[in-house]
Structure 1
């Protein structure tokens, strides 16, 4: 374990690693889950090999359960909160890739595209610290450079707790009805200028809000 963590943080990481996945699986097993747009997603994956899932940070818990054990490479920050998430998702069958959702962080993810361990890729586009509902440039950079399609995805629940965190983090309640909705694939080519990146970031934010509100 990293010596840079305090004793309290090390204890938290140890507990989260084992207790986190157990709680998520326990609650998730009671959900009634429905998928919308899955046929189009599978067709897109068959054509391009991989896709880039993008979603708001406050949906990560529910999507962590609904997409478990699929070897999805997910971009996770390197700070303590990210370390907690990384240890949880690894035990949920994900492939954590450490970095950020900035262009620099996405460059690290770009290098993992050909790694067979990552079946698909995933980014919380407004993480790890917000602002909420603002798409950071990493996913635009990644999609443009890789040629892989972006798949906007949201997970809406009939009953949930909403935390008072920066992202208004959502925790679906036991026995909630869950709808996982995939948006239409977005292909980006030759996006180089800051103006182009900013424009596509705004477009992607609008699409994500249509698929499922970030509030």
Structure 2
């Protein structure tokens, strides 16, 4: 049964956020290699990025830091109302919009709303297929001048909640959460459809490489290059 009352929905969202936040207080977050230098919580100077995060890994980015220097791009569809409410409860901004609709004026408005902030995008959302990159993030990168940064998350132990087309995982208390950040991928301006498809495949490839690397780390002893998370101010 779908909850219609915004008040009830708001209370539920804040309760869920509170529980997840308490879980994350018990976890240990580790950045693999030099990932901490390119993550959304790092000092990236004046440059702002488009962070690519698979839909099933959206929970860690919300609760890894005390303060956020990023906003999430979510669908304009009514189904995204709950997601927006949860983002608000978690202290992260949200922008309702599309990476492919509305042309240059819509892109300009989107970048204006996110001025000074990184943009987190789930490139396989909002309806899948699971871990299948769509071209929207490449389109936005080409028109905004922002580089795409692939991201991957994993945990030593977690719960998985299956949805209609993908799952959402939440780390279990006292588990270790791994965060691996890829190198920026710069997309040229005014690229052709063929070039857009090629860059989309490239981002897909980099995302898959990060996932595989983290799987190996989780299944083995802690990597000696892994560094402990430093709490955001």
User: What is the TM-score normalised by the length of structure 2?
Assistant: 0.78
1:1-215 equivalent positions in 2, closer than 5 A: 8=4, 10=6, 13-36=9-32, 37-41=35-39, 42=42, 45-46=44-45, 48-67=46-65, 69-100=67-98, 102-104=99-101, 108=106, 110-115=108-113, 119-165=117-163, 166-212=165-211
Equivalent pair of 1:16/1:87 in contact (CA under 8 Å): no
Equivalent pair of 2:70/2:93 in contact (CA under 8 Å): yes
Deviation at 1:184, TM superposition (A): 0.7
Moved over 6 A (4+): none
- Mean Cα displacement is larger for which, 183-192 or 74-83? 74-83
| Whole-angstrom distance in 1 between the partners of 2:107 and 2:119 | 8
- Mean Cα displacement is larger for which, 75-84 or 106-115? 106-115
Aligned residues between the structures: 207
Equivalent pair of 1:97/1:109 in contact (CA under 8 Å): no
Deviation at 1:12, TM superposition (A): 5.4
User: What is the TM-score normalised by the length of structure 1?
Assistant: 0.84
Deviation at 1:78, TM superposition (A): 2.8
- Mean Cα displacement is larger for which, 111-120 or 144-153? 111-120
- Mean Cα displacement is larger for which, 79-88 or 171-180? 79-88
Equivalent pair of 2:3/2:9 in contact (CA under 8 Å): no
Structure 1 unaligned residues grouped into runs of 5+: 1-5
